[in-house]
């Protein structure tokens, strides 16, 4: 028996059995163990603002409710050679969006300021249908205006959902739909870059609590919606900061918060004047 144990072959077999039994005792095999080596702790992620919607899904849902706004503007230009100022006609363009099924739309006041009462304002939907729009309310101090159109024959356009701009935080995703440089229904995206900014309205009045975004905004985006990750309107795109000779986007845009518009919408929709005292 001792001679048998001394055999190199038998010794190798016995050594292999000992190693195999040791591995089995430790629970380590060539197969994946069912017991985790490190306990995983769930990560606490705030999902309250996540809607599961992609930018494409938001665009498909909201873009039909965004319109191309055109206003023929009459300007009085003084002339040293004439007794009365010369009238010069030009076209102002921007964007607007539906806020209800009755045909009320929000836009910037500066988009339609000085519109010719004869030719007025027109809005164009995504299917190419153009409608005359009535200016029913203006707020010069906050650079806002409400237009109204006849919605017959525009079944695909739905009002955009209005969000709550007080819940917006720096770093939140943003999307803008508008008509930059006349390129209708363009989608751009970015984040909220800063809050509590201040910009100047056309009449010199300071607009507070403005949202800053790096979503590219350009001439033609004015009056269009700034959307959150759920496609809700959190602001009305109004101004951009430019540098040098360029009048295009440098990644600093400003939107009037939707809550500012909410406060005065009843007066705007009814055509009553909006003043600082009426807010």
Q: What radius of gyration do the chain's Cα atoms show?
A: 31
User: Residues 62, 104, 139, 143: which is the catalytic one?
Assistant: 143
In the residue annotation, 184 being an active-site residue is answered as no
> Residues near 151 by Cβ (< 8 Å), separated by ≥ 6?
101, 102, 103, 157
Of 92, 165, 193, 222, the catalytic one is: 222
Question: Dihedral, CA atoms, 235, 66, 101, 212, nearest 10 degrees?
Answer: 0
Whether 140 is catalytic is no
Helix H segments across 117-257? none
List 62, 92, 104, 110, catalytic entry:
110
Quote the DSSP letter at residue 40. Answer: P
Contact of 214 with 254, CB cutoff 8 Å: no
Residue 203: φ, ψ to 5°: -95, 10
SS3 257: strand
The yes-or-no answer on residue 249 being catalytic is no
The set of catalytic residues is 110, 143, 222
């Amino acid at each position: 028996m001792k001679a048998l144990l001394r055999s190199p072959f038998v010794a190798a077999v016995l050594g292999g059995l000992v190693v195999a039994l040791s591995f089995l005792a430790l629970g380590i095999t060539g197969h994946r163990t069912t017991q985790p080596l490190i306990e995983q702790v769930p990560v606490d992620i705030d999902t309250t603002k996540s809607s599961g919607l992609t930018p494409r899904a938001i665009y498909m849902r909201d873009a039909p409710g965004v319109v191309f706004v055109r206003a023929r503007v009459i300007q009085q230009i003084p002339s040293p050679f004439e007794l009365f100022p010369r009238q010069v006609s030009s076209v102002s363009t921007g964007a607007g969006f539906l806020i209800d099924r009755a045909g009320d739309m929000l836009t910037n006041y500066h988009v339609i300021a000085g519109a010719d009462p004869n030719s007025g304002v027109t809005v164009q939907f995504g299917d190419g249908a153009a409608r005359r729009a009535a200016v029913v309310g203006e707020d010069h101090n906050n650079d806002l205006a409400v237009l109204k159109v006849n919605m017959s024959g525009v079944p695909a356009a739905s009002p955009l959902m209005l969000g709550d701009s007080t819940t917006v935080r720096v770093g939140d995703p943003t999307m803008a739909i508008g008509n930059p440089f006349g390129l209708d229904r363009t989608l751009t995206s970015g984040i909220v870059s800063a809050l509590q900014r201040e910009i100047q309205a056309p009449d010199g009045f300071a607009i507070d609590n403005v949202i800053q975004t790096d979503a590219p905004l350009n001439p033609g985006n004015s009056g269009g919606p700034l959307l959150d990750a759920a496609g809700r309107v959190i602001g009305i795109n109004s101004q951009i900061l430019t540098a040098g000779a360029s009048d295009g986007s440098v990644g600093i845009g400003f939107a009037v918060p939707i809550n500012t518009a909410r406060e005065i919408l009843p007066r705007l929709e009814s055509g009553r004047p909006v003043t600082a005292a009426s807010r």
